[in-house]
């Protein structure tokens, strides 16, 4: 068993699609534990059979998060987890950790089994349908072929009909993979072909049963007048449905209690049976043409709760919208972390006083470097703490050891349920979030909506910021001269527009335009080759940049450069021009030129606030002065 000296910890693995029965099961488990003795860590995700493989990997990666050596038992809720590879992996890891595995809904030789007697309850259903309603011909809408519960129900139907010598009355079996859309397509096709309806559609769960009623109604058939429908699970939602669904109550709360008691016996080192079976009961409903007073009671209760749920759902959706707008308004990763952290500090009414958002350390790095990949199997050794509060106490460190799972967790106090959900896009792990004691939101799938929206907005932010950075880098490349690595003509044109906007707005800003022309580039190219000419341009550019070191420099032509002088360079422009001239080689137009030869003509023109209306005028004046200087340099050489 586990070796920690805190409360015992049990890891539960499943998907959240069967939220209502899962919450009943977990409630039953927790009812069996004395206060202050056990915490349940629920590793929850929402993959579907129709998802792509990468999306499934991203969702079920949360099962890789816990180190089972730190736990005292593992529970697999098989009614929600029908992915055999994941079940095998959990059992293998549990065996390596030396902790017992308790399974609901499926059997494995290496695990203890807690199940319900679907078989007997399904026989009771068939008897009721035949004896009370003369319903004999059956179509069964199954789950998956590897679901023990679904196959047990199908086998019970087959055995019942075989005993009555009516095996042919099982007209068809449709495997839906638990997808309502499959049931819809099947029934639409069934009706379109004009096939006679069976007496009853028996569905492997209540969700399929309700979808069957709706689809039959859309095809002009009334339930129960034209055909009967039955389901399994006896969900509240199926009982307030019209008509209420005749269903098998699998007694998930009692199963959870049996699981908790079995684990307690094992924790004390007691010998236990490998299998515990809880009896089920078939409960007739309006969908099999039986009146149900229990359904009326549930409808009244749900009606009373509707206003409160509507108010909480409105707040919940508003909170998600605030998270979206907060994240998508950020322009850097640091701003993203700070803004979202502050949002949760100021408003965590929905999330409660124990809530955690942990990010992969490479999440932020991957925004700025596309070559950095994110984990798709397991999580990093350390996580970044975006926000973490346990019992209202903020965790104030930036990193957290992933194996500990929950920052600030002490293992003291009342028993708690911690719910872990993955943050990801496709198979790339962004991190995970942790809620505490969110049983009701496990039930109604709000927690799934929260996880999905959080993952989606994180992905949108990551993509938007990455794209923005790529665009900026492309623009930088587009505006950079590849030879000298200073700004190019395109960049100067943008700068011209900016300066013109300042002039248009009447801004009294001191700046000057310095135009440069590199002398004798053609002579160098003709006498020494273009490589030497390139080296000459680079030397000349470096000289300009070193003198006017506080000003942006642009190469706007083969041998032409521009600098925008402001601040210190503007104030010292005359001294800097003298410095430039002093550092140049004496002008010469005779080959060969020295290897370190540099000669540049420069003209500077200032922006005159009271006169200049166009940046073009300033550039023209600087250009004219530059050509005057160039002519003087040539004339001086000729006179000498």
More confident residue, 508 or 401: 401
User: CA-to-CA distance for 274 and 11, rounded, in angstroms?
Assistant: 19
Q: How confident is the model at residue 445 (pLDDT cuts 50, 70, 90)?
A: confident
| Closest-CA residue to 141 (of 254, 14, 249, 227) | 227
Residue 638 has a pLDDT of: 53
Whether the upstream peptide bond of residue 237 has omega within 30° of 0, thus cis, is no
Mean pLDDT of all residues in 10-27:
93
Handedness of CA 340, 342, 347, 352 (dihedral sign): positive
Residue 4 has a pLDDT of: 44
The answer to whether the CB of 315 falls within 8 A of the CB of 155 is no
Q: CB atoms < 10 A from the CB of 57, how many?
A: 19
Handedness of CA 66, 71, 76, 80 (dihedral sign): negative
Mean pLDDT of all residues in 338-343:
96
User: CA-to-CA distance for 248 and 325, rounded, in angstroms?
Assistant: 45
User: CA-to-CA distance for 580 and 310, rounded, in angstroms?
Assistant: 75
Q: Is 319 helix (H, G, I), strand (E, B) or coil?
A: helix
Q: What's the pLDDT tens digit per position in 259-313?
A: 999 999 999 999 999 999 999 999 999 999 998 767 777 777 777 666 666 667 7
Cα distance between the two ends of the chain: 99
Mean pLDDT of all residues in 488-502:
91
Structure tokens at 293: 């007073």
Q: What's the pLDDT tens digit per position in 57-105?
A: 999 999 999 999 999 999 999 999 989 999 999 999 999 999 999 999 8
Q: Give the CA radius of gyration of the chain.
A: 37
User: CA-to-CA distance for 74 and 90, rounded, in angstroms?
Assistant: 8
Q: Is 436 helix (H, G, I), strand (E, B) or coil?
A: strand
Counting residues of the chain whose pLDDT is more than 90, the rounded percentage is 76
The answer to whether the CB of 588 falls within 8 A of the CB of 520 is yes
Q: CB atoms < 10 A from the CB of 395, how many?
A: 17
Residue 200 has pLDDT above 50, yes or no: yes
What DSSP string describes 340-408?
HHHHHHH--TTT-SSEEEEE-HHHHHHHH-TTPPPPSSS--SEEEEEEEEETTEEP--SEEEGGG-STT
Phi and psi at residue 475, to the nearest 5°: -65, -40
């Amino acid at each position: 068993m586990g070796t920690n000296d805190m409360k015992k910890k049990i890891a539960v693995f499943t998907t959240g699609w069967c939220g209502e029965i899962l919450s009943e099961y977990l409630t039953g488990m927790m009812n069996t534990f004395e206060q202050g003795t056990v915490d349940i860590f629920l590793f929850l995700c929402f993959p579907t059979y129709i998802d792509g493989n990468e999306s499934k990997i991203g969702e079920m990666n949360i099962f890789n998060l816990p180190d089972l050596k730190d736990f005292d038992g593992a529970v697999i809720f098989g009614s929600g987890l029908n992915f055999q590879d994941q079940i095998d992996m959990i059992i293998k890891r549990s065996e390596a950790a030396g902790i017992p595995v308790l399974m609901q809904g499926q059997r494995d030789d290496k695990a203890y089994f807690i199940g319900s007697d679907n078989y007997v309850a399904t026989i009771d259903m068939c008897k009721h349908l035949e004896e009370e309603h003369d319903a004999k011909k059956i179509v069964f809408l199954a789950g998956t072929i590897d679901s023990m519960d679904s196959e047990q129900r199908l086998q019970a139907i087959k055995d019942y009909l075989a005993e009555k010598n009516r095996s042919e009355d099982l007209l068809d079996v449709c495997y839906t993979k638990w997808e309502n859309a499959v049931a819809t397509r099947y029934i639409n096709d069934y009706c379109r072909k004009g096939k006679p309806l069976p007496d009853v559609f028996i569905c492997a769960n209540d969700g399929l049963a309700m979808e069957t009623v709706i689809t039959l109604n859309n095809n002009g058939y009334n339930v129960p007048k034209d055909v009967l429908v039955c389901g399994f699970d006896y969900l509240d939602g199926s009982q307030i449905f019209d008509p209420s669904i005749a269903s098998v109550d699998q007694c998930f709360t009692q199963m959870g209690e049996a699981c908790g008691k079995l684990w307690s016996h094992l924790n004390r080192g007691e010998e236990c049976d490998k299998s515990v079976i809880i009896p089920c009961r078939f409960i007739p409903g309006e969908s099999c043409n039986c009146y149900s007073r229990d359904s009326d009671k549930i409808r009244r209760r749900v009606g009373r709760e509707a206003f409160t749920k509507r108010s909480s759902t409105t707040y919940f959706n508003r909170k998600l919208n605030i998270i979206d707008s907060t994240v998508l308004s950020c322009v850097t990763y640091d701003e993203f972390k700070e803004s979202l952290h502050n949002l949760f500090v100021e408003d965590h009414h929905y999330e409660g006083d124990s809530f955690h958002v942990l990010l992969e350390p490479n999440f932020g790095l991957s925004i700025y470097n596309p070559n950095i990949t994110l984990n798709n199997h397991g999580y990093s050794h350390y996580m970044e703490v975006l926000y973490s509060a346990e019992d209202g106490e903020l965790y104030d460190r930036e990193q957290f050891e992933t194996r500990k799972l929950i920052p600030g967790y002490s293992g003291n106090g009342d028993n708690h349920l911690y719910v872990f959900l993955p943050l990801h896009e496709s198979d790339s792990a962004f991190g995970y979030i942790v809620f505490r004691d969110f049983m009701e939101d496990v039930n109604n799938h709000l927690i799934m909506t929260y996880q999905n929206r959080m993952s989606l907005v994180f992905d949108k932010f990551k993509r938007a910021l990455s794209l923005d950075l790529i665009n900026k880098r492309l623009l930088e490349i587009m505006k950079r001269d590849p030879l000298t690595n200073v700004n190019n003509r395109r960049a100067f044109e943008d700068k011209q527009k900016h300066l013109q906007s300042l002039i248009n707005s009447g801004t009294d800003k001191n700046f000057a335009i310095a135009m440069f022309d590199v002398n004798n580039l053609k002579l160098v190219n003709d006498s020494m080759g273009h490589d030497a000419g390139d080296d000459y341009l680079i030397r000349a550019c470096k000289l300009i940049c070193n003198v006017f070191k506080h000003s942006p420099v642009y190469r706007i032509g083969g041998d032409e450069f521009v600098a925008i002088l402001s601040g210190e360079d503007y104030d010292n422009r005359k001294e800097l021009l003298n410095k430039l001239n002093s550092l140049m080689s004496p002008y010469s137009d005779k080959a060969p030129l020295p290897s370190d030869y540099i000669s540049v003509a420069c003209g500077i023109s200032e922006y005159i606030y009271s006169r200049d209306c166009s940046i073009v005028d300033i550039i023209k004046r600087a250009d004219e002065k530059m050509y005057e200087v160039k002519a003087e340099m040539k004339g001086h050489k000729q006179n000498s």
